[in-house]
């Protein structure tokens, strides 16, 4: 097996980028096609395939769904960290603090959660506020991603030394994580239980059942092909409860993409439904507590 | 510019950390052990100390305890940066007054993240 992977020729690159776009709506810009080789290197090594051209031949044969899944998983951008934009995570918690303090059910959807760090960051903050302020309940947090591999890792809740140190203050690490036998830092059971993970394709499937008080969909639109951005925003708008809030990534906006969302008047930096979004599939009934279990 | 004192008996680690810190716009000073670091803090107290655990002459923990008895212009943030990666060491460091903890090996993202957490980056 060669250490260096030969660069994908334009035809292979188009096939692989097309597979990613077809399944996830995400695109790889032509000037970033070098990423194909780097990203696929572990898969090629694992399958003893010499180059991307051979991988492309196998994919063209078209009967190996598991292989296609693995390729897509590796090509997805899974960049994430604990407390990414910490102030934004805190403002998301604050945005639903009032109903939680009053004992009302609150439902949160972390869309495109990658390996779970964002959802766990929220869960840590909610658990700390619940303990400090005697809130009667935690919110229901459902976290989804298109990648089966990412969701499997998120469910494990075990992170490498590099992952655990990115954004996570050491005191929180000591409180919520402990080293395991595999040399990873494993989330405590109460923390893991605070989040329900499930595989979900944001561009091809209706939102998870029910309606949400808060949806986080950060740093996702940027990677989608432009024609899908508005469709995804409309789906998100339809999944919000009346008065529910949507949080996008820094630099992401609804302007020019959807008139079903507008900047929130009560929560700076958030969006809310403008009032004429269609109902989410499954009806407008609120999600019953515990109904999101996988 | 913020100032960082790197305290490590390894020249290589000091060089790597210095490179990263300079790209993060820090002014960097170096010390090879805890005693040298204490003397530098008396002369010019940095904003943050990046502190190894195991060093000759004076260890990181001994430095941290001695720092607490010094009268300085301000109390620098202290970030341990060590291969002592077990929970017992981490707990001991935080209980002794360290503000953050970096487990070696580290990279730019890790160091930047920890310096942001203690409010100096």
The residue behind tokens 């970096």 is B102
Question: How far, rounded to the nearest angstrom, does the alpha carbon of residue A108 sit from its chain's CA centroid?
Answer: 13
Beta bridge partners of B26: B2
With an 8 Å Cβ cutoff, are B113 and A166 in contact? yes
The verdict on residue A199 lying in a domain is: yes
Q: Going from the N-terminus, what domains does chain B have, and what CATH number goes with each?
A: 2-117 (3.40.50.2300)
Residues A262 and A153 reside in one and the same domain: yes
Print the domain residue range for A179.
Answer: 86-273
Residues A64 and A140 reside in one and the same domain: no
Residues A96 and A64 reside in one and the same domain: no
Cα gap A245→A272, rounded to integer Å: 5
Residues A69 and A163 reside in one and the same domain: no
Q: Cβ of B26 under 8 Å from any chain A Cβ? A: no
Record the tokens describing residue B16, joined without a space: 């790597």
The verdict on residue A280 lying in a domain is: no
Of B87, B91, B117, the CB nearest to A179: B87
- Is it the case that residue A288 has pLDDT exceeding 90? no
pLDDT digits (tens, 9 = 90+) for A149-163: 999 999 999 999 999
Instruction: Provide mean pLDDT across the span A14-42.
Output: 84
pLDDT digits (tens, 9 = 90+) for A32-50: 677 788 889 999 999 998 8
CATH number, domain with residue A142 = 3.40.50.150
A172-194 b/e (C-beta count within 10 Å ≥ 16 → b) = bbeebbebeeeebbbbeeebbeb
Q: Which residues of A touch B121 (CB under 8 A)?
A: none
The interface predicted TM-score of the complex, written ipTM, equals 0.95
Min Cα separation A165/chain B (Å):
6
Cα gap B121→B118, rounded to integer Å: 8
Residues A24 and A129 reside in one and the same domain: no
Residues A35 and A175 reside in one and the same domain: no
Residues A230 and A120 reside in one and the same domain: yes
For A12, A55, A58, B95, the CA distances from A65, given in Å and listed in that order, are 18, 13, 11, 52
Q: pLDDT confidence of A8, banded at 50, 70, 90?
A: low
């Amino acid at each position: 097996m060669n250490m260096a992977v030969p660069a994908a020729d334009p035809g292979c690159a188009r096939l692989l980028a097309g597979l990613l776009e077809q399944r996830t709506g995400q695109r790889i810009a032509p000037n970033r096609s070098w990423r194909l080789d780097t990203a696929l290197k572990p898969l090629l090594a694992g399958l003893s395939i010499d180059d991307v051209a051979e991988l492309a031949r196998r994919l063209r044969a078209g009967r190996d769904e598991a292989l296609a899944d693995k390729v897509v998983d590796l090509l997805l951008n899974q960049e994430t960290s604990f407390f990414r934009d910490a102030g934004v995570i805190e403002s998301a918690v604050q945005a639903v603090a009032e109903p939680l303090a009053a004992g009302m059910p609150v439902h949160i959807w972390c869309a495109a959660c990658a390996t779970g760090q964002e959802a766990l960051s929220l869960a840590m903050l909610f658990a700390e506020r619940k303990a400090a302020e005697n809130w009667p309940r935690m919110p229901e947090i459902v976290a989804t991603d298109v990648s089966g591999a990412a969701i499997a890792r998120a469910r494990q809740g075990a992170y490498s030394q590099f992952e655990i140190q990115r954004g996570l203050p050491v005191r929180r690490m000591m409180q919520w994580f402990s080293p395991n036998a595999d040399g990873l830092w494993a989330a405590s059971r109460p923390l893991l239980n605070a989040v329900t993970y499930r595989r979900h394709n944001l561009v091809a499937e209706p939102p998870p059942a029910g309606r949400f008080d808060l949806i986080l969909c950060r740093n996702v639109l940027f990677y989608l092909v432009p024609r899908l951005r508005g469709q995804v925003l409309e789906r998100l708008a339809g999944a919000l409860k009346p008065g529910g809030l949507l949080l996008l990534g820094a630099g992401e906006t609804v302007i020019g993409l959807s008139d079903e969302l507008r900047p929130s008047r009560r929560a700076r930096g958030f969006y809310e439904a403008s009032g004429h979004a269609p109902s989410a599939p499954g009806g407008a009934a609120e999600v019953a507590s515990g109904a999101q279990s996988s | 510019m913020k100032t960082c004192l790197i305290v490590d008996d390894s020249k290589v680690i000091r060089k790597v950390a210095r490179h990263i810190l300079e790209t993060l716009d820090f002014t960097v000073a170096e010390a090879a052990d805890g005693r040298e670091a204490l003397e530098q803090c008396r002369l010019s107290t940095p904003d943050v100390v990046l502190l190894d655990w195991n060093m000759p002459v004076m260890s990181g923990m001994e430095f941290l305890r001695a720092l607490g008895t010094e009268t300085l212009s301000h109390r620098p943030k202290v970030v341990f940066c060590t291969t002592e990666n077990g929970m017992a060491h981490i707990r001991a460091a935080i209980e002794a007054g360290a503000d953050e903890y970096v487990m070696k090996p580290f990279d730019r993202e890790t160091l930047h993240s920890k310096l942001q957490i203690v409010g100096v980056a």
